[in-house]
Each structure stands twice: as structure tokens, then as C-alpha cells.
Amino acid sequence: MKSKPYLCLEDAHRIIAAAMAHAQSRKWAVTICVCDDGGHLLMLERADGAPPFTAKMAVAKGTAAALGRRESKAFEDSINQGRTAFVTAPLEGMLEGGVPITVEGHVIGAVGVSGVKSSEDAEIARAGIAALTAA
């Protein structure tokens, strides 16, 4: 039987804390979520001032990155480059801001962020993931 690393609650706390600190240092009101490798929500935090819609969008982006095993931006890029049939895919959150968490070659989850420009959402997600991999 093969084994792989997985996210635990402590990991999710560490990721959210680092990502939120990154966002707050720039005065960005966002929602951040951590999903497991099946796209199931482990933790979500919505900053004061972040619109309610960002909670749904962050989860959708995180789920897309976890299930797709790639950044959610890859789906957006594919559609923008003419693969318009992709818009009918049974997946939401195909916009930049979902970043998979990869450990030892395994995607063990993802971080989804919503609330600012998509590239900034992805920046925040990467800051959270960096705190996990630095530990």
C-alpha cells in the first residue's frame, strides 16, 4: 500500500494565518480557504470588509486547484486561449486565485483566495503555502 502526506488542522491554521497576514499587510480584505486533496473545505477565514461573495469564490477556486491538480489560472488561461468548451466543465472557480499545495510530489490540497485582483489572490495563496513548506 502506498502512502502520502496530508493536511492536518494545524497545517490549515498555519496557512491561513500566513496568508491573512500577507493580505493584511497590504490592507486587502479577502477570504482565504484551505481545501484537502478532494477539494473539501478544511478551513475558511473572511476578513472584515471582504464581501460575502468572496467566501463562495475562494472555496470554488480552492476546489478547482485541488481537483485539477494545478493552479486555477490554468483553466482560465485555457478558456481565454479559445478552449471555450471548457466553460461547460462540471467545475466552478476556474479563475486565478486557487493554488495547489504540493508536498513530496503529491497534491495534498489547495488554497483559494478571493477579494482583490486575481493575481493578488494567487500571491496571497502562495504566501500561505510558503509558511507550510517552511515549517
Rounded to an integer, what distance in angstroms lies between the CA atom of residue 23 and that of residue 86?
Answer: 31
133: its cell numbers: 513548506
Q: What residues does each domain of the chain span?
A: 9-134
CATH number of 9-134: 3.30.450.150
How would you class 97 by CB atoms within 10 Å of its CB: exposed for 0-12, middle for 13-18, buried for 19 or more?
buried
pTM of the model: 0.95
44: which strand partners?
Answer: 33
pLDDT in tens, 23-80: 999 999 999 999 999 999 999 999 999 999 999 999 999 999 999 999 999 999 999 9
The pLDDT of residue 126 is above 90? yes
Rounded to an integer, what distance in angstroms lies between the CA atom of residue 24 and that of residue 30?
Answer: 9
Confidence of residue 104 (pLDDT cuts 50, 70, 90): very high
40: its cell numbers: 473539501
pLDDT at 25: 98
85: its cell numbers: 468548451
113: its cell numbers: 483566495
